[in-house]
């Protein structure tokens, strides 16, 4: 295995699979980031690594035991396919070989884009009557939802012009989900419109049909073409929709962000191929992307083509005609369906969606579809639709930007999916109600930082291409917020936000005078080192830095990319994940009373069935014993997943950084930065030294600093500060700093400074003793005793003392209850709280921080505080696994504890930090 150690200056060799094409690359391809792209690309495309199905489609993940949005690792999503297209476009830029990009589109047309046989009665679609209304409900047990013909629906203004443009009533868009190994056994194979049952080959599949609270753990999958071969007497239809009778039928759902990303990939392919004089090689595939963009406009319409704005009652909200039902945003989905071939009736339907999420918008694709001739769709109104969508998307993001800079959820034209009345005081965007968690609620849809990074990557790309001032303004604020919540350690550790919390709401949108959203706020609940999200974040920073000239953003992009690269393995770049959510394998899946059916493998679907009951094949997975042990009361299982989209995004992050911040210098930058000045020691503890220095300058950009301890590289920094940790107590060290630029040039070393660490490990003024008060390492509380001893010669004001006990939470709730059950000084004189570690490490992602009030008084020389009995729990009372906690020991009597730190006035006085 070859480690990708870019932070340490290692140059990564190209994989053997691509070495034969080296002559097609430019000289710039010799830079380490392009080489890292080729290495990552080679791992993804290596057959032995298992990223692709026999039909050539990317799996969601290499690993099979995987439950998140898809409920099995060897399913795939249109999202994964769109990342594949983009990956091949980047490969074409580096190598000049465009055959893989074209092949991706060819495979997509044969598989995930339904063919005519898969939508056989689309010719029966009546644009004047798109679909029959059925209200959505908040909970799965509110279903099936009865069709209601008394509610009027609008007319579809796109169908006729699309049919005229392409000579067919078939819809050209990707269905969002496929079962590539036919694990469920429906045999709903592309190009057949059938249900051939268990056997090899991919199968279309559907899921998520029952309201905002339906999580992946509560779904009942079903085939897209339901011929009543499986399920109950009516197949699976009567689990979702109430009707007088049921007909065999087909139905597909499109994820607009994926199709928009496919368009985005085609734009880059055309731009890069044109620069090589090879635009003719990709024209056919780019035309397919333009066609996809034509149909993608269905995502801009209300679900039932009702009027957009102030639509708060299903009966009084009018059916729309023309463009009155068009909100111009990229909504969560569009869908289409119809009668199965030979079912005895010809009918078809189409719907849009009134709910739009900030993380789905793609201004780059909207711009390309309205400004790049090769990507301009055929339909007469498509270009103007996308031009208006571009403006509306940028307004939408401006409306949702919080005071801090992150983007709140979105809006809906149909409150709770049934054109309800929002709560009084709900702000609106062009008459559509604000929703902080649009579409799904388990977990809340906008609490994941990944949607921030995904969305801003597209905005940053648009900003890079066009220099649009509105995009630049929202990025200025977002990048400052995200950067302030990001840490990259000298040891290669890194973290950025994971779960967000929202308070307040935006101002009602006034395009003539936008509000400041002073009452809309975001806070970070916890942090993550997810490599897929990190890759999107790096791309955002790279595009932004390349256009704005923000050196700090470029330096942070490099630091994150280098840190993630240190997690390379044989299959890609990945980090371990502890999956506490896998306790939900035993969650009940709601099945209506009296309903009974059968899955293709014989699993019974009936009231009381659980997620695993209707997927018993999971018990045959090689990784299942880890999950079963957890369900039996053991520790939560840990997996290292290789998701295709994340691995492709990492490859792209390398390639984009190379293109814009390495090759972008012209490939001939030989001028080194100036020497940093003003190096100074700002703080010392018993095991650390903190430094600061003044900025160096460069003819292009300074991208980071290298810190040397006693002449040996100690670490890298992207800012002008650095803390060197893990040092010996009472020891003198010498430090110097060099500046580095994107071209790999390094300055001479600065003037050196010396620093001596403080005494530690019990030789200071205090020491901490600890005892374990809980024999179980896997229950739902951490219980411990502490006492502080004054080993010095003078009294200590206890209000200046803080103690820290480090632990990990193993998932579950990110909020905690802390308690002092007894203290010799009086429990009311003890303070306690849980805080996140500034640089999380194995066994130490959080700490219990204990302090003393002024009422605790002073601690005389030689005296002890006496016993302080403490405990803590997660607010959901889920279990801990304390076995690897940094500060935990097994002694049940008080003993000196060097892994519990004591601070006096903020300076480390006892112990060794993790």
Query: Can you give 837-859 as a three-state secondary structure string?
Result: EEEEECCEEEEEEEEECHHHCEE
CA distances from 887 to 683, 782, 849, 899, 900 (A): 24, 11, 12, 5, 6
The number of C-alpha atoms within 13 Å of 901 and in the hemisphere containing its C-beta is 22
**DSSP codes joined into one string, 605-622:** E-TT-BTTTT-GGGGGST
Q: Which residues pair with 301 in a beta bridge?
A: 326
CB atoms within 10 A of CB 425: 7
Pairing of strands 487-488, 494-503: antiparallel
The answer to whether 141 is a known catalytic residue is: no
The number of C-alpha atoms within 13 Å of 674 and in the hemisphere containing its C-beta is 10
CB 581 within 8 A of CB 442: no
Using the CB atoms, write b or e for 828-855: b if 16+ within 10 Å.
Answer: ebbebebeebebbbebbbbbbbbbbeee
Angle value at C-alpha 844, between 839 and 849, nearest 5 degrees: 90
- Which candidate, 334, 257, 338, 71, places its Cα nearest to that of 178? 71
Q: Of the residues 491, 581, 613, 623, which is catalytic?
A: 491
Task: Specify whether the backbone of 193 is left (phi greater than 0), alpha (psi in -120 to 50) or beta.
Answer: left
Using DSSP's 3-state secondary structure scheme, residue 126 falls into: coil
d(CA 339, CA 324): 29
CB atoms within 10 A of CB 8: 12
d(CA 843, CA 809): 9
DSSP 635: P
Overall residue count recorded for the chain in this entry? 914
d(CA 628, CA 641): 19
Report residue 168 as tokens: 């067919």
**DSSP codes joined into one string, 144-173:** SEEP-TTS-----SSHHHHHHHHS-S---S
Positions marked catalytic: 491
């Amino acid at each position: 295995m070859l480690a990708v150690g870019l932070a340490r200056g290692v140059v990564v060799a190209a994989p053997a699979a691509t070495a034969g094409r080296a002559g097609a690359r430019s000289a710039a391809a010799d830079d380490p980031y392009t080489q890292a792209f080729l290495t990552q690309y080679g791992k993804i495309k290596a057959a032995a690594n298992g990223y692709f199905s026999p039909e050539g489609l990317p799996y969601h993940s290499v690993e099979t035991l995987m439950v998140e949005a898809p409920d099995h690792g060897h399913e795939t999503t249109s999202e994964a396919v769109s990342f594949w297209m983009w990956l091949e476009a980047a490969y074409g830029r580096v190598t000049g070989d465009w055959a893989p990009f074209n092949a991706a589109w060819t495979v997509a047309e044969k598989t995930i884009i339904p063919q005519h046989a898969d939508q056989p009665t689309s010719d029966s679609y009546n644009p004047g009557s798109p679909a029959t209304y059925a209200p959505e409900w908040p909970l799965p047990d509110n279903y099936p939802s009865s069709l209601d013909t008394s509610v009027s629906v609008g007319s579809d203004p796109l169908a006729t012009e699309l049919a005229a443009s392409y000579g067919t009533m078939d819809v050209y868009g990707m269905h969002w989900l496929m079962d590539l190994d036919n694990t469920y056994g429906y045999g709903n194979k592309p190009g057949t419109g059938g249900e051939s049952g268990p056997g090899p080959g991919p199968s279309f599949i559907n899921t998520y049909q029952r309201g905002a609270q339906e999580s992946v753990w509560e779904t009942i999958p079903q085939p897209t073409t339901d011929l009543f071969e499986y399920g109950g007497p009516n197949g699976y239809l009567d689990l979702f929709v109430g009707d007088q009778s049921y007909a065999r039928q087909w139905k597909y759902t499109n994820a607009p962000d994926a199709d928009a990303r496919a368009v985005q990939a085609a734009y880059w392919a055309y731009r890069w191929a044109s620069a090589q004089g090879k635009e003719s090689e990709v024209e056919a595939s780019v035309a397919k992307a333009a066609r996809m963009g034509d149909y993608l406009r269905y995502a801009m319409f209300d679900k039932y083509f009702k009027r957009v704005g102030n639509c708060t009652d299903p009966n009084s909200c009018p059916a729309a005609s023309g463009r009155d039902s068009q909100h111009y945003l990229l909504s969560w989905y569009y869908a289409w369906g119809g009668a199965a071939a030979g079912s005895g009736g010809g009918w078809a339907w189409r719907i849009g969606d009134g709910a739009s999420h900030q993380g789905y918008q793609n201004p780059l694709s909207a711009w390309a579809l309205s400004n790049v001739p090769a990507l301009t769709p055929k339909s007469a109104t498509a270009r103007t639709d996308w031009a208006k969508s571009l403006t509306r998307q940028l307004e939408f993001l401006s409306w949702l930007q919080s005071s801090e800079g992150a983007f709140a959820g979105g809006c809906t034209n149909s409150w709770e999916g049934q054109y309800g009345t929002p709560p009084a005081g709900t702000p609106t965007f062009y008459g559509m109600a604000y929703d902080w968690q649009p579409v799904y609620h388990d977990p809340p849809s906008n609490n994941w930082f990944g949607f921030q990074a995904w969305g801003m990557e597209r905005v940053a790309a648009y900003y890079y291409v066009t220099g649009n001032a509105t995009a630049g303004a929202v990025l200025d604020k977002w990048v400052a917020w995200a950067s302030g919540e990001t840490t990259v350690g000298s040891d290669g550790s890194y973290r950025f936000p994971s779960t967000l919390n929202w308070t307040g709401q935006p101002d009602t949108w006034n395009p003539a005078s936008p509000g400041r959203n002073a009452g809309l706020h975001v806070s970070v609940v916890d942090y993550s080192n997810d490599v897929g999200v990190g890759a999107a974040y790096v791309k955002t920073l790279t595009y932004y830095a390349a256009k704005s000239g923000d050196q700090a953003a470029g330096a942070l992009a490099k630091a994150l990319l280098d840190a993630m690269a240190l997690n390379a393995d044989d299959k890609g770049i990945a980090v371990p994940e502890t999956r506490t959510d896998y306790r939900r394998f035993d969650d009940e899946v709601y099945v209506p009373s009296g309903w009974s059916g059968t899955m293709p493998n014989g699993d019974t679907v009936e009231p009381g069935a659980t997620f695993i009951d209707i997927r018993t094949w999971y018990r045959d997975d090689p990784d299942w014993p880890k999950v079963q042990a957890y369900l039996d009361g053991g520790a939560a299982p840990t997996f290292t997943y290789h998701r295709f989209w994340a691995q492709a995004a990492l490859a792209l992050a390398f390639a984009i950084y190379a293109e814009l911040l390495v090759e972008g210098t012209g490939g001939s930058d030989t001028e080194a930065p100036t020497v940093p000045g003003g190096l100074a020691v700002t703080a010392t503890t018993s095991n650390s030294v903190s430094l600061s220095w003044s900025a160096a300058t460069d003819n292009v950009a300074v991208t980071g600093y290298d810190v040397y301890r006693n002449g040996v590289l100690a670490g890298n920094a992207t800012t002008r500060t650095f803390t060197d940790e893990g040092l010996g107590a009472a020891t003198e060290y010498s430090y110097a700093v060099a500046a580095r630029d994107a071209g790999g040039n390094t300055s001479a070393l600065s003037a050196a400074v010396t620093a001596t660490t403080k005494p530690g490990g019990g030789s200071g003024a205090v020491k901490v003793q600890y005892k374990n008060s809980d024999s179980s390492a896997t229950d739902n509380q951490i219980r411990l005793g502490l006492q502080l001893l004054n080993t010095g010669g003078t009294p200590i004001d206890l209000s200046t003392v803080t103690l820290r006990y480090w632990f990990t939470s193993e998932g579950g709730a990110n909020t905690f209850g802390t308690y002092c059950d007894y203290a010799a000084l009086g429990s009311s004189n003890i303070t306690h709280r849980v805080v996140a570690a500034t640089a999380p490490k194995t066994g130490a992602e959080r700490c219990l921080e204990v302090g003393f009030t002024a009422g605790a008084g002073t601690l005389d020389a030689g005296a002890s505080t006496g016993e302080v009995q403490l405990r803590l729990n997660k607010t959901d009372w889920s279990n801990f696994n304390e076995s690897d906690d940094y500060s935990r020991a097994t002694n049940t009597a008080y003993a000196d504890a060097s892994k519990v730190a004591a601070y006096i006035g903020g300076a480390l006085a006892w112990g060794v930090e993790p």
